[in-house]
Amino acid sequence: MPGRLFSYVDSIVARDPSPRSRWEVLLYPGVWAVGFHKVAHRLFRARLFFLARWVNHVSRFLTAIDIHPGAEIGKNFFIDHGFVVIGETAVIGDNVTMYQGSTLGGTNPTNGVGGKRHPTIGDDVIISLGAAILGPIMVGKGSRIGANAVVMKEVPEGATMVGIPAKPVPVAVKPETQAFVPYGTPCSERFDPATQKLELLQCEMQVMQKRLAELLEERDAARAKAAEASGSGKGKKSA
């Protein structure tokens, strides 16, 4: 048990530069909320729904984080600050990070029968502040949801989504570039809805400039190779 706890705390330290020690992390409201949820989820699975909901209400009162007892959460789940809402049928993978004010919300079933109403979040996903992921959709492994984005459609693996409704940014976050990308915004430190189009254009320009540089290098290499071949051909003729 202590080993698993310290492993969980170390995973948070790797994603948050502010703590000075493991003990400080143990005071985080997100850590307490996840601990309360483990108890509530066991009660929920035992069909002790009232007790599960009671634990949930105590947790929400103390942490300002509302995780429905029915939600399924994987390893090393980190909630940075509070005011996060996670619905009943949400499924969260391993090493997922959610920032303040983000929501895993549900949709109202058209047939009036409850079922899978909340999203499924893959491993290593970052959900930035104020983002909302709505409905029984899949958010692919390693994807990033930008600040204040509203996601209502499937998200492919490794995509970075911004906007209302959210759309993919044409700049991929590659694991080799950085171990962890805070807030999931690789092109800019923030994605303000008021300047979204400009930021998206800036990202597109970065991709185009990189691609242009690659094409110029390929062209120069091809010219150099052709010149070398031409020179060797002339040498053989003169010989």
- 237: pLDDT strictly greater than 60: no
| Residue pLDDT, tens place only, 99-121 | 989 999 988 766 555 688 999 99
pLDDT category of residue 72 using cuts at 50, 70 and 90: very high
Helix (H, G, I), strand (E, B) or coil at 67: strand
| pLDDT at res. 185 | 57
Q: Whole-angstrom Cα distance, residue 170 to residue 180?
A: 19
Q: Assign 13 a pLDDT band (cuts: 50, 70, 90).
A: confident
* Fold of domain 2-189: UDP N-Acetylglucosamine Acyltransferase; domain 1 (2.160.10)
Per the prediction, the chain carries an average pLDDT of: 83
Q: Cα–Cα distances in Å, from 32 out to 61, 80, 82, 88, 142?
A: 12, 12, 11, 19, 25
pLDDT for residue 202 = 67
pLDDT above 60 (res 193): no
Q: Is the pLDDT of residue 228 over 90?
A: no
Strongest mean pLDDT among 3-17, 99-113, 172-186, 187-201: 3-17
Residue 177 pLDDT > 50, yes or no?
Answer: no
Which helix or strand (DSSP H or E) is residue 32 part of?
helix 29-45
Residues 209, 215, 218, 223, Cα dihedral to 10° = -110
Residue 66 has pLDDT above 90, yes or no: yes
- The answer to whether residues 38 and 69 touch, using CB atoms and an 8 Å cutoff, is no
Q: Where are the domains of the chain?
A: 2-189, 192-239
Peptide bond just before 165 cis, omega within 30 deg: yes
Q: How confident is the model at residue 15 (pLDDT cuts 50, 70, 90)?
A: confident
